Structure 1
Amino acid sequence: MAILVLLRHGRTTANAEGVLAGWTPGVGLDDTGRAQAAAAATRLGALPWRAVLSSPLQRCRETLEVVLGDRADLAPVTDDRIGECRYGDWEGRPLKQLAKEPMWKVVQAHPAAAVFPGGEPLAATSARAVAAVREWDGRITAEYGPDALWLACSHGDVIKAIAADALGLHLDQFQRITASPCSVTVIRYTPLRPFVMHLNDLGSDLSGLVAKKRRRRRKPSSDAAVGGGAT
């Protein structure tokens, strides 16, 4: 199967102010976020992407504009399913204020049961996001082969949910995962299991994800390397 590179957007004005943005329109990158995106561009901009997927929200689109630069060959496709969790009545409110809400403890300790007032359950966010990336991964693999690289720019909780699924974790464990601004999480799906190749990565050289040319294309194995492997 293809290789999915999940990129969280850069820091936003809402992040800096400690406000839960959700689907609030007009939330873009601040100066720090643009610098983070520029740093991500040095690692991601030149890779041979077969497809680029984006949340429809402004902060993700702005991040990809910086990361992809003037690459006219790549036009990001938006998919609402990898958009932010719909936090409903919580959107636009300070996190310090939200931490006093009874639902906050549920989000922290039992997120699979969390349903945001006027919004959606976290479990629904996870289900739609996982379904989206698995569907796109299968489509890209079928069109471009098992060594294809594709990029998806999304949000912290969404990326954490996708990573938890790939790690075989219950959604209640997803708060143990971190997805920092402009961090990279890399997943390779196979017929048997996903492999998490990078998690919350902020600095690795990712050129090793590009497959070396070989005479005959082989499907990636679902077997794990006993003893850790050589790479």
Structure 2
Amino acid sequence: MRPRTIFLLRHGQTDFNVQGIVQGSGVDSSLNDTGRRQAAQFFAAYGRVPFDKVYTSALRRTHESVQQFLDLGLPHEAHAGLNEISWGEREGTRITMEEDAEYRGVLADWGAGRTTSRLTGGESPEEVAARQRPVIELLKARNDEQTVLVCMHGRAMRVMLCQLLNYPLSCMEGFEHSNLCLYKLEFTGTMFTVRNFLDVTHLSAGKNAALTS
């Protein structure tokens, strides 16, 4: 069987990203002007890829990031299982390592393998992984979908990559992310392999084109 290709994309920039405010699954924000430009740059780079399906979370910032692909009439499914982790009572607030002892403690727990730890009222990585698994099984089972685009969120993407590549969730900090970054994976039917890691060349190409035009 020919390997299938998964384009795993983080959503574009929002005003909350710029302000350092956590969004989580409970904050349904839209892209800002920069995020919309990033989405357009990604479409300019990959708009001719013959995607068989577009998957997004249930949150609008992922839909808006791939709207130009949806406007082509590509089949689309939104799954709440792809939503960002819930940060509980802290959603919509600014969290920093320097100022927030609870946040520091939870991240330390996760790195030490205590991945059932969570912020007050929020989700643990184990809970996020559990709700992602049905979506992962769909991706694995749909052999007719040779090339798919999946748009989701930073922390949830880290959890997803750990699951796809058979890493413990304690390793998720190793999967860096930025707005509209791409991880391109191949799936052989038995295993996933990363072909592009934290790829943002589509964004720099857009900037260079703007500088020379």
Q: TM-score range by the shorter chain?
A: 0.7 to 0.9
CA distance in 2 between partners of 1:19 and 1:186 (Å): 28
**Equivalent runs, 1:9-28 vs 2, <5 Å:** 9-28=11-30
- The count of residues paired between Structure 1 and Structure 2 equals 197
The percentage of counterpart residues that share the same residue type is 24
Q: Is the 8 A contact 2:56 2:152 kept in 1?
A: yes
CA distance in 1 between partners of 2:135 and 2:157 (Å): 10
* One-letter amino acid matched to 1:6: L
Q: Do structure 1's residue 80 and structure 2's residue 83 form an aligned pair?
A: no
Shift of 1:76: 2.1
TM, length-normalised to structure 1: 0.77
Larger Rg belongs to: 1
* One-letter amino acid matched to 1:45: G
* One-letter amino acid matched to 2:101: E
Q: Which residue of the partner structure matches residue 210 of structure 2?
A: none
Shift of 1:69: 6.2
Shift of 1:133: 4.0
Q: Is the 8 A contact 2:102 2:119 kept in 1?
A: no
CA distance in 2 between partners of 1:153 and 1:17 (Å): 22
Q: Which residue of the partner structure matches residue 122 of structure 2?
A: 119
* One-letter amino acid matched to 1:78: A
Q: Is the 8 A contact 2:14 2:29 kept in 1?
A: yes
Deviations 1:171-210 (A, max 9, x none): 1111121121111112223344221111211116xxxxxx
Deviations 1:77-118 (A, max 9, x none): 110000111111110110238851324232245251322211
TM, length-normalised to structure 2: 0.83
CA distance in 1 between partners of 2:141 and 2:165 (Å): 22
Question: Relative to 1, partners in 2 of residues 1:45 and 1:132: Cα closer, same or farther, differing over 3 Å?
Answer: farther
CA distance in 2 between partners of 1:178 and 1:155 (Å): 12
* One-letter amino acid matched to 2:71: D
Q: Is the 8 A contact 1:166 1:187 kept in 2?
A: no
Q: CA RMSD in A?
A: 2.1
Question: Relative to 1, partners in 2 of residues 1:188 and 1:123: Cα closer, same or farther, differing over 3 Å?
Answer: same
